[in-house]
Amino acid sequence: MDIGIPEDWVHAWYPYVTGTSVTRIKYKDGILMAADMGGSYGSTIHYKSVERMKQVGKHSLIGASGEISDFQEILLYLDELILHDNMWDDGNSLGAKEVNMIGVHFEENHVATGFGNHLARPILCEEWREDLSFEEGVKLLEKCMRNLLYRDRSAVNKIQIEKITDEGLTISEPYSLKTFWNFGAFQNPTVCAEGSC
């Protein structure tokens, strides 16, 4: 059945390797963004060291959930754009306002993609405040990522947190969250399940 969609667009309907949620918050000195490093092939977690956040230019950070190859393709386009911009040698560099010819204005104190929009955003809405310190912001993001780890079967316990301030951008080394899996329902999940009591 021909529905008028170009053939090269159809591949995105059947993603191969996908990533889970990305969360981002604003804190008093800048922005923090967190994502795990899992890459799922269908319902199987196949890769556990996929970096899904990258610095773009001097002033921007991009994080991706969904199809990893789409993210990689976007990064290639952005690299070409930055190279082309550098060839002008006008002393300017690309920033967030150069997304398109009229700029894009989107302002939010916290954002989460994918399943994180349902599981992390409620935590962020309840606990985020404008005067968060760096340490408090990291703890808040870790709480969100831990919640996603417990509830999203595609999440892995290996995360990175990126920080953007006026001084620049830093990316943490990958690390694991402290977790607790000895809840009664985890130990014996069929006790009092429907039809078993």
Which domains are present in the chain?
7-187 (3.60.20.10)
Q: What is the pLDDT along the chain (197 residues), one digit of tens a residue?
A: 455 666 665 555 666 888 889 999 999 999 999 999 988 888 888 788 889 999 887 777 889 998 888 888 989 988 888 888 777 777 776 666 666 666 566 678 999 998 999 999 999 999 999 999 999 999 999 999 999 999 888 889 999 999 999 888 899 999 999 988 887 777 787 777 776 66
Strand intervals (E) in the chain: 17-19, 22-27, 30-36, 39-41, 44-47, 53-56, 60-63, 66-67, 110-112, 159-165, 168-171
Which pLDDT belongs to residue 138?
97
User: In this structure, which amino acid lies at residue 197?
Assistant: C
Does the model's pTM come out above 0.85?
no
Which pLDDT belongs to residue 118?
94
- Measuring CA to CA, which residue among 35, 67, 66 is closest to residue 51? 35
